[in-house]
Amino acid sequence: MEYAKEIKAALTIPVMVTGGFRTVLIMNDALSLSATDLIGMGRPFIIDPAFPKALLVGEIESAPAIEQTFPESENLPRGAVLNWFCYQLTQLGEHSTVDLNADVQQGHQRYLASIELQTNKLLKIRG
Ligand SMILES: Cc1cc2nc3c(=O)[nH]c(=O)nc-3n(C[C@H](O)[C@H](O)[C@H](O)COP(=O)(O)O)c2cc1C
């Protein structure tokens, strides 16, 4: 937030900080400290694209934070968490819903398999 504050003070355009925002309390703190004009979020949208409305009307106090239930990243293959979220994006695209039954390893493996499949399809088309 200190870093964002300095950036914001040096700019005349709006600043959006993204990364780890989950609770309304912390979001409001960041806004009231004038550290950012906008709160950016990434992973919560993948789990539930409708969550901001519930957050804004006070139905929930925190954005979805499923990654907090995952094993420590040093105990997972490199890129597994990101790949798990990418797998969920492919599920949203293909089935309009996420697959929260898949654990990190499963999501990771399935995403790698889907990339391989798509790559092979492209290579076939290119001949
Ligand atoms: C599936 C996925 C893809 C992402 N792709 C990009 C990207 O292309 N460029 C980028 O700057 N950040 C990318 N990010 C990082 C997000 O923009 C964001 O900084 C990060 O998820 C931290 O915010 P969060 O804690 O709200 O998720 C990606 C994150 C995820 C989960």
Report pLDDT digits (tens) over 71-100: 998 899 999 999 999 999 999 999 999 999
Domain boundary among 42, 66, 90: 66
Q: What six digits make up the tokens of 56? A: 């804004």
Give residue 90 CA to ligand 1 midpoint distance, Å: 15
For ligand 1, say whether the CB of 22 is within 6 Å of any of its atoms: no
Range of the domain at 110: 70-127
Per DSSP, the residues of 71-99 read PPGGGS-TTHHHHHHHHHHHHHHHHSS--
Helices marked H in 23-79 — which ranges?
Answer: 24-32, 43-47, 51-56
Cα 85 to ligand 1 centre (Å): 10
Answer yes or no: do 116 and 104 share one domain: yes
- 18 φ, ψ (degrees, to nearest 5): -125, 140
List, for the chain, all residue ranges whose pLDDT scores fall below the cut of 70. none
Lookup: tokens for 122: 């492209």
Bridge partner residues of 16 (DSSP)? 38
Distance from the alpha carbon of residue 10 to the mean position of ligand 1, in angstroms? 25
**Three-state secondary-structure class, residue 123:** helix
Same domain, 85 and 61: no
What is the per-residue pLDDT for 127?
Answer: 82
Q: What is the pLDDT of residue 5?
A: 93
- Any ligand 1 atom below 6 A from CB of 19: yes
Last residue of a domain, one of 66, 91, 108: 66
Same domain as 60, residue 6: yes
86 lines ligand 1 (CB under 6 A): yes
Residue 73: the pLDDT is 87
pTM: 0.90
18 lines ligand 1 (CB under 6 A): yes
C-alpha 58 to ligand 1 mean position (Å): 25
The reported pLDDT for the residue numbered 120 is: 96
What pLDDT, on the 0 to 100 scale, is given for residue 90? 96
